[in-house]
Amino acid sequence: DTEVTQTPKHLVMGMTNKKSLKCEQHMGHRAMYWYKQKAKKPPELMFVYSYEKLSINESVPSRFSPECPNSSLLNLHLHALQPEDSALYLCASSQTSTVGQFFGPGTRLTVL
């Protein structure tokens, strides 16, 4: 299994909703990432988990809460989001730096 999966593919939520994005990889990768990508822009790093521990938080607002239940799973819990949080959310994983990060297909999030 050489892929990263993400669910759901699309999500529409209101500003008072609580939702979660899920990411899964079965490649035995030690690091997992969350990125946010706005249209026509490069991905922006949000969080990095290394060996299931949060190693990087790029000053992301607390309405985004990451969780790494085990080495294969990565969640992003969403609460009280704003319309400007609408974006493509990409999950990635990597084992070593020399083979790059493998990305999932992303979740397109719309906040109304």
Chain contacts with other proteins (rule: CB under 8 A) = 31, 33, 37, 40-43, 45, 48, 50, 55-56, 88, 90, 92, 94, 97-106, 108
Closer residue to other proteins, CB minimum distance, 80 or 88:
88
Q: Which of 6, 39, 3, 43 is nearest to 21 (CA)?
A: 6
Beta-carbon neighbour count of residue 109 at 10 Å? 21
The whole-angstrom separation of Cα 46 and Cα 59 is 8
Residue 101 DSSP one-character state: P
Give least dist CB 97 to other proteins, A: 6
Q: Which of 9, 43, 39, 30 is nearest to 99 (CA)?
A: 30
Closer residue to other proteins, CB minimum distance, 1 or 40:
40
Give least dist CB 14 to other proteins, A: 23
Closer residue to other proteins, CB minimum distance, 43 or 66:
43
Give least dist CB 19 to other proteins, A: 19
